[in-house]
Structure 1
Amino acid sequence: MREDIAVLTIAFYIAITAEAMTAALAAGRRKMDWFGVCLLACVTALGGGTIRDILLDHYPLVWVENPYLLLLVCGAAMLTIPLARLVDRLKWPFLLLDALGLVVFTVIGCNIGIEAGAHPMISIVAGMITGIAGGILRDVLCNDIPLVFQGELYATVSIITGAVYFLGLGWGLPVDLLVIGSIAIGFTLRVLALVFKWEMPRFVYDREMRK
């Protein structure tokens, strides 16, 4: 993460806290114990960055370098337990925070890819992995089909955000302005997708229909 970009750092901490709390709710719906709640929160909030770092051979892992992230994530998850009914009612605020987390994680992942000297395409993919992989792991552990595979305009938003950010860097735009602009574009696109229910085309194949 680029430590000189204060807005990105602040948004990162807000995003992982929100991701941890939504993961705790998912754990509660499946009657997991407190360890399961904390584990699912960590996987959701930090899983994307962990997979990215492993693939890019980027060490130490973000939560190994900063162990206090584990305390923040587990603390947010445990705090959700007594506040579950309140948190569950705050659907739209958490959807907006999730949208913010998606684009913030994407920009951070792109930065890591760039700093690792990866190909431009790989840097954008690194951003996407950072943004969506945690949610995929959460859904798999909860025995659900990941939302990102069910038509949600999610991965596409991440790719567009990463592409805008990377191209802006190539054009020499001011980094602080570019971070804010990329986040604004991606966030707006995700919110519009939620409001107007924009979805990716689906592939439906039913053998019974062919008989």
Structure 2
Amino acid sequence: MLLYIYIMAITAEAMSGALAAGRRNMDLFGVAFIAFLTALGGGTVRDIILGNYPISWTQHPPYIYLTISAGLFTMLIARFMQRLNRMFLILDAMGLIAFTIIGCNVALRLEAEYQYSTVVVIMAGMITGIFGGILRDVMCNRTPQVLRHELYASVSLLVALLYLGLKYMGLDENINMLISFIVGLAIRLAAIHWNLSLPVFSYSPGKWK
């Protein structure tokens, strides 16, 4: 199940990257590159940090073709994207949660060899979940969306904590994934619907003179 969700997630993330590139008037190469970076960048950064080589997408070339094709396909259907916006928000939420669980799994597989602590496993999950979007926004010269809108990175944190908590309690892996996925998706969709966010820190030096 997680594999199918992952495929949908990298496709959705690639399309969101292509849209961001389009807003910056990038050419075909720019669109393809940003689409690829958005979809697979989080996993790449995770693998580099954890020393997980070879990097996952280098062993699965179809992922490269899929993300680039999705980005270029977005150029053809961009005029209809506004109507499909809700669907892509849901797919993006599914991707966030799937990436987080996958990132935790990768770190847990390496735990015996590298003795990673729980906090490192959590960070690996979060990096996988959110870093592709951060790279996309930095490359497109805008403040990363995950740091300024409704609950996003914090949902990734909650999913990682829930998944690891249930795992350490000995719950069946498939049931654990299902529960973590449903709870995470419900929180993310609720945040979108009600515009839930963390408190914002606003600092203006002039106010304190």
- The alignment's TM-score, normalised by the length of structure 2, stands at 0.96
The one-letter amino acid of 2:55's match is: L
Map 1:23-172 to 2 at 5 A: 23-117=17-111, 118-172=116-170
Hey, what's the Cα distance between the residues in 2 that align with 1:169 and 1:18? 28
Hey, what's the Cα distance between the residues in 2 that align with 1:66 and 1:77? 18
Deviation for aligned residue 1:151: 4.2
Instruction: State how many pairs are aligned.
Output: 205
Cross-structure match for 1:178: 176
The one-letter amino acid of 1:198's match is: L
The one-letter amino acid of 1:113's match is: A
Q: Structure 1: 5+ residue runs without aligned partners?
A: 1-6
Deviation for aligned residue 1:78: 1.0
- Specify the SS of the correspondent of 1:59: coil
Deviation for aligned residue 1:68: 1.3
Query: Pick from 4, 16, 29: which aligns with 1:10?
Result: 4
Hey, what's the Cα distance between the residues in 1 that align with 2:176 and 2:185? 14
Deviation for aligned residue 1:142: 0.5
- Specify the SS of the correspondent of 1:88: coil
1:206 aligns with 2:204: yes
Deviation for aligned residue 1:183: 0.7
Deviation for aligned residue 1:22: 1.2
- % of aligned pairs identical? 45
